[in-house]
Amino acid sequence: MSKYLTPAMQELRAALNEGEEITKRADGSKASEARLAFLLAKIKSLNGGAAVGEDSNAFFRALLSGTATRAMQEGQQTLAFTAGAEGGYIVPQEFHDEVILGMSQNDPLLDENVVTLIKSNTFALRPYSIPGWDLSTFKATKVAEGGQQTAGVAPTVSGVLLKGYKYKASLPLTTELEEDAFQPTLKLLSDAFQVGFARGIGEDLVTGNGTTSPQGVLSGAGASAYTTGAQGVLSLSDFEAVYFKVNRVHRNSAKCAWLMNDAAYQMARKAIDTVGNPLLKVIHDKETIMGKPVLVCPSLPEFNASLGMQAAGSFCVFGNLAQLFVHISKMVVNRATQLPGYAENGMALYTGIMRADAKVFDPTAGSVPPIVCASLHE
């Protein structure tokens, strides 16, 4: 359920749960009293003051009415302007959280519960270094008691740098919608930005080359590690072959999962084991195969009959998705009215802008890959 709550709502729920737990204690210590007082103040702060949605309403009322510039001149803090060729205003945190949540529901590679999602608090998306070691052959060494301590064999230091690629999604609105249907229009903007950014960024998180776009999971996984045994059907041996292509360390990760397009997922639902039981099982409200969650990723390549060899990932991507690092910026939005085809027709163009980058971090340079991909039979 927590994946459907915004960060502010999750923080409030955590404070409420901890406060309730403290009130049930029998000790009544000073430390517990102090902690409870702190939590009560925090709950009041999170739950009081401005009503939920008030900041977003004030922000978009100013934006839709064209009073954004005046609001800035009068010193109001509702609208924060950001520099750049397009300009634009940083959206309120609650609206940004809503967009990110919607994006994750459209594409699992934008879900912080699936990948390592790094959210910037600015639009700039400054370079972000991911540190790490190659631990594939690293081990402790036995030394004699009282013997001189040496560094031993140290693991190789590794790391990658996340930068930022710009994504834009533009939506036209008539002045009638801006003025007469505020709440429905705000919902339309939110839903459209969620879908637009999820599809645009999500596609690159799968197929991006890492040079002119974020590195997609297929590029990071390398060449296809396996091809299924028969066309149009998936078997237990297919899943076992891919499962054991990934090292046990990565298979034991909490974020180890199967990614499939919708067509492969449909075939997976028909796959059975040696005694005729479905391979796909529901555990804790999650669909799983061999104990690992199955996630539908819309941007993975599908079966193409015209290909002699099916594309990597047309069967699945499998592995430790925590090694897919996704870096995203705050969203900004810009309203333009003096554009050809808009001003004379009583329309405005709303442009949302985000930056994003991604890398599959493999410190072993492919010797122990955290993620692999597989192809369907040609």
For residue 287, give the CATH number of its domain. Answer: 3.30.2320
Q: Comparing C-alpha atoms, which of 102, 129, 58, 268 is closest to residue 197?
A: 102
Residues 108 and 168 in one domain: yes
Q: Is residue 33 part of a domain?
A: no
Residues 345 and 247 in one domain: no
Torsion over CA of 299, 208, 202 and 306, rounded to 10 degrees?
Answer: -10
Task: Provide the phi-psi class of 360: left if phi over 0, else alpha when psi is between -120 and 50, else beta.
Answer: beta
pLDDT at 201: 95
pTM of the full structure: 0.78
Whether pLDDT at 137 is above 70: yes
Token pair, residue 322, equals 């925590």
Whether pLDDT at 69 is above 70: no
Phi, psi angles (nearest 5°) of residue 191: -60, -40
Residues 240 and 259 in one domain: yes
Which pLDDT tens digit goes with each residue over 6-35? 666 777 787 788 888 877 776 666 667 767
pLDDT at 339: 80
Residues 352 and 284 in one domain: no
Q: Coil, helix or strand for 202?
A: helix
Can you name the residues that pair with 325 across neighbouring β-strands?
116, 359
Task: State the total domains in the chain.
Answer: 2
Identity (one letter) of the amino acid at 226? Y
Q: Is residue 292 part of a domain?
A: yes
Q: Is residue 204 part of a domain?
A: yes
Identity (one letter) of the amino acid at 330? K
Q: Is residue 189 part of a domain?
A: yes
Crossing angle (nearest 10°) for helices 30-47 and 7-23? 150
Q: Which residue range is the domain that position 247 belongs to?
A: 219-323+366-375
Residues 75 and 190 in one domain: yes
Q: Is residue 142 part of a domain?
A: no
Which pLDDT tens digit goes with each residue over 335-345? 888 788 777 78
For residue 58, give the CATH number of its domain. Answer: 3.30.2400
pLDDT at 268: 96
Crossing angle (nearest 10°) for helices 54-64 and 182-207? 100
E-state strands within 109-191: 116-119, 128-134, 156-162, 165-174
Which pLDDT tens digit goes with each residue over 262-316? 999 999 999 999 999 999 998 878 899 999 999 999 999 999 888 888 999 999 9
The answer to whether residues 295 and 115 touch, using CB atoms and an 8 Å cutoff, is: no
